[in-house]
Amino acid sequence: MTTITQAPYLMTDLGQSTLYTMRNKNGMQVSATDFGGHLVSILAPDRDGKLADVILGYGDYAGYKVNKYYLGAAVGRCANRIGKGRFTLNGKEYQLALNDNGVNHLHGGTVGFDQKLWACKVISCEEGQALRLRLVSPDGEEHYPGALSVTMTYTLTDQNELVLHYEAASDADTVCNLTNHAYFNLAGHNSGTILGQRLKIYADHFTEADAESIPTGRVLPVEGTPMDFRDYHRVGERIDADYLPLNYGGGYDHNWVLNSPAGELGPCAEMWDEASGRHMTCLTTLPGVQFYSGNFIDGTQLGKEGCYYEKRGGLCLETQFAPDSVNHPEWPNPILRAGELYDHTTIYRFDVK
Ligand code: BGC
């Protein structure tokens, strides 16, 4: 059974934040904070039972506030990019902030959900205790239509699963695409790059993107390309291949179209560090995943425990609707109609192999 303890965490511009630590019967631990719904640490055992913190995090409030890399962040209202920050809904055009190099909209805008102080409550559930985080994003916030009420429930199970359950509803038609931006490094958060760790992605296709990481509209087979992760490959095996999508992304930073039917909880990806034995399985109800290999991490930002993360020091598996899918009616897209319930789940399960 999981129990949760709480302690004062960082002092933020919005007030005192709290750190919630969940512990299950196996000694696995997950810490999260109400500031931005960030996952702050995940302590997972290796094949000898030795715990290591397998996600990257910041060392102080300054890091979380600048939030350049979105380490562990809850991302919304719309994760990933919207081309030129523009979309049309019910005949009305919306212009969002161009916070991605002044050209596109990224991760919900200038003040995304990662910068909000969420209302948190420890609740009782089948697993013992879980953390419930709530937020109301007012109508017009970051220029999105509709007041959106979001509930995220973070649960640690005795099967060493971290279950992230997202529910949202709006009083007007809007866009809703929620994800978590944890960077995983199964050898430990400060152990160097993830290039030697192995990855599998349950996808036959990916969405082609242009030099600004905006989808071209073409959905390409992974077959015969460095994007093929249907069997395990080391992340670094083909990352520097002379292949246009990798050249554009500076490595992996793309959306894979998952094979399992959208809306059903299905396999998304597996990550494996052979040396420690740590293995993680990601499952989701969402139709896609952004596998981002931390290409923009540049060693300049102070992380946890006084460390500076290097380029490709962690990787993200951001379950999501495809980038710019609000502008692609032919794809599963993140339009949430008034009165409908957004209800999605992503699970990160840890074991050894
Ligand atoms: C994007 C990257 C971006 C990063 C920001 C990822 O989700 O795909 O392009 O640089 O977030 O930390």
Report pLDDT for 67. 84
Binding residues for beta-D-galactose: 80-81, 181-183, 253
In this prediction, residue 301 carries a pLDDT of 86
Atom of ligand 1 nearest to the CA of 292: 8
Q: How far apart (Å, rounded) are the C-alpha atoms in residues 216 and 159?
A: 40
C-alpha 83 to ligand 1 mean position (Å): 14
Indicate which residue's Cα is closest to atom 4 of ligand 1.
69
**CA–CA dist 165, 341 (Å, integer):** 13
The predicted pLDDT at position 32 comes to 98
Binding site members: 80-81, 181-183, 253
Between CA 235 and CA 252 the distance in angstroms is 9
Task: Give me the pLDDT at residue 93, please.
Answer: 98
pLDDT at res. 68: 87
Determine the distance separating the centroid of ligand 1 and the alpha carbon of 107, expressed in angstroms: 8
Give the CATH number of domain 3-352; options: 1.10.10.60, 2.40.50.100, 2.70.98.10, 3.40.50.150. 2.70.98.10
Mean pLDDT in consecutive groups of 10 residues from the start of the chain, 353 residues: 97 98 98 98 98 96 92 98 98 98 97 98 97 98 98 98 98 98 98 98 98 98 98 98 97 98 94 98 98 96 94 98 98 97 98 97
Which residues have a catalytic role annotated?
181, 318
Q: What is the pLDDT of residue 114?
A: 98
Q: How far apart are CA 295 and CA 173, in angstroms?
A: 35
